[in-house]
Amino acid sequence: MSTPSRAPETLTIPREIKVLIAAAFVIALGFGLIAPILPQFAKSFDVGVAAAGFIVSVFALTRLAFAPVSGRLTSALSEPPVYVGGVLIVAVSTILCGFAQDYTQLLVFRAAGGLGSTMFTVSAMSLIARLAPPEIRGRISGYYAGSFLIGNIVGPVVGGFLAVFGYRLPFFIYGGALIVAAAIVYLSLLGVRSSAKRGPRDSRPAMLFTEALRSRVYRAALVSGFANGWSNFGVRVALVPLFAAQAFDDGAALAGLSLGLFAIGNAVALTVAGRVTDRHGRRMPVLVGLTIGSLALAGIGLADHEVLFIALSIIAGAGIGFMNPAQQAAVADVIGRDHNGGKVMAGFQMATDSGAILGPVVAGLIADSWGFGWAFGITGVVGLVGAAAWWTVPRTLPEHR
């Protein structure tokens, strides 16, 4: 007989997760500063749209290549030291981006940041999957995603206006923010004994990637994760600023405003998304959210007025915000609390990064050849394919249900 679950209202968020949520805000705030200007900074070295988009892709490319190693490091060393080390690597590489003198240097320094990024991403996701009570796993996923989004609300707007002072200053600010985030984790998380009372090594059995692939839910999450990486982490970051700069006056500030409003749409959706996925399952939020977000992002390439551009940015953000907690919670459900999920989390992250690599390059080539309308249209189709992958998945409820 299964143990009765506790009422979600009586559960509290573990302290370790609260620290990760706080650090996520600092990281997102810094990332938001450089997001609007990164493609434009690359383009200032006299390269095309595809090459400018590849600056976004190369970050995901190194994340993809290093993800299996990050999974093994997390299993061997435990999550906190891998997290802190990853954040510091990104901090140093970001500061070096600010000193880049040509496109090649910018490309190399940005690629180096991907190594550290996958370290702190995989270790954070693994720690959340282990410590989050199943009854409120969706809510915690929403809070964690929301902390990124609150930072992204402020960061892109400020970053867009900082562009008037040159493209380099935001990189130095972001690097400093990452050092602050690493200090928060080092001083708080490493000094807290985990609820599992374990030593440096993780004694739980590791779930293999091939074992997770037996789950229809995990397979669907890989497809939707790829689509989300293509559209949300790839094309949105790489092409929206370039499209805004070409289509509208004062495009740099409008690009930052667009990314900030996308985050606002995310934040509004997240106020209900976590509770919805805990009560009604993972399938419906992913289907609805990814469909809405994909259609809105497809329409951005046809926007011919600032108001329409802004409205579609908000709608796209709301759709992606509604699906993200359910997708992350579904992967955590597959792993459970009794397994080390570093390798499985790394596999999911690799699917997302694969989309983030291909999206900006393919969409950038399409934009160079046929225009932004076609580039964003193809992106919308990729997103709809990701949503369709969940159509045949049974109604997935949290494990305690």
Band of the pLDDT at 401, cuts 50, 70, 90? Answer: very low
Q: Between 186 and 288, where is the model more confident?
A: 288
Q: Residue 182's closest CA among 88, 96, 66, 45?
A: 88
Q: Is the pLDDT of residue 224 over 90?
A: yes
State the pLDDT at residue 193.
Answer: 40
Predicted local distance difference test score (pLDDT) of residue 156:
67
Q: How many residues are present in the chain?
A: 401
Hunting for tokens 């609007």 — which residue is that? 36
Asked if the model's pLDDT at residue 292 lies above 90, the reply is yes
* pLDDT tens, position by position, 299-344: 988 888 888 888 998 898 888 888 887 888 888 788 776 666 667 8
Helix (H, G, I), strand (E, B) or coil at 340: strand
Give whole-number Cα distances, 195 to 9, 17, 75, 128, 321, in Å.
20, 11, 17, 12, 29
Alpha-carbon gap, residue 181 to 201, rounded angstroms: 24
Residue 58 has pLDDT above 90, yes or no: no
Helix, strand and coil in the chain, % to nearest 5: 80, 0, 20
Indicate yes or no: pTM above 0.85.
no
Tokens 């994760």 -> residue: 225
For residues 199 and 244, the model is more confident at 244
Look at residue 71 and tell me if it is in a domain: yes
Residue 19: give the domain boundaries: 14-388
**Of 344, 275, 322, 341, which Cα lies nearest the Cα of 135?**
275
The mean pLDDT of the chain is: 79
3 is a domain residue: no
Using 50, 70 and 90 to split pLDDT, how confident is the model at 390? very high
In a domain, 400, yes or no: no
CA distances from residue 219 to 34, 62, 107, 155, 169 in whole angstroms, order as listed:
33, 23, 32, 33, 41
CATH number, domain at 104?
Answer: 1.20.1250.20
| Band of residue 387 on the pLDDT scale cut at 50, 70, 90 | very high
Q: What's residue 20's pLDDT?
A: 84
- Please count the structural domains in the chain: 1
Is-contact 185 24, C-beta < 8 A?
no
Tell me the sheet residues that pair with 206: 340
The rounded distance, in Å, linking the Cα atoms of 245 and 17 is: 39
Is residue 253 one of the residues assigned to a domain?
A: yes
Q: What is the pLDDT of residue 341?
A: 66
340 phi, psi to nearest 5 deg: -80, 120
Portion of the chain with pLDDT greater than 70, in percent: 84
State the CB neighbour count (10 A cutoff) for residue 251: 19
Predicted pLDDT of residue 203: 59
- What whole-number distance in Å separates Cα of residue 40 and Cα of residue 361? 15
* Distance of alpha carbon 384 from the chain centroid: 19
Position 3 scores a pLDDT of 45
Measured distance CA(227)–CA(235) in Å, rounded: 11
**Per-residue pLDDT at 192:** 44
Among the ranges given (101-105, 125-129, 196-200, 262-266), the one the predictor scored with the smallest mean pLDDT: 196-200
401 is a domain residue: no
Q: Pick the residue with more confidence: 313 or 385?
A: 385
Q: What confidence score (pLDDT) does residue 1 get?
A: 41
pLDDT score for 160 = 63
pLDDT at 95: 93
The answer to whether position 5 is within a domain reads no
Digit-coded pLDDT (tens) for 148-168: 767 766 776 676 666 667 788
Position 97 scores a pLDDT of 92
pLDDT at 197 over 90: no
Point out which residues pair with 340 in neighbouring strands.
206
Whether residue 366 is contained in a domain is answered as: yes
CB 30 within 8 A of CB 178: yes
For position 361, what pLDDT does the model report? 82
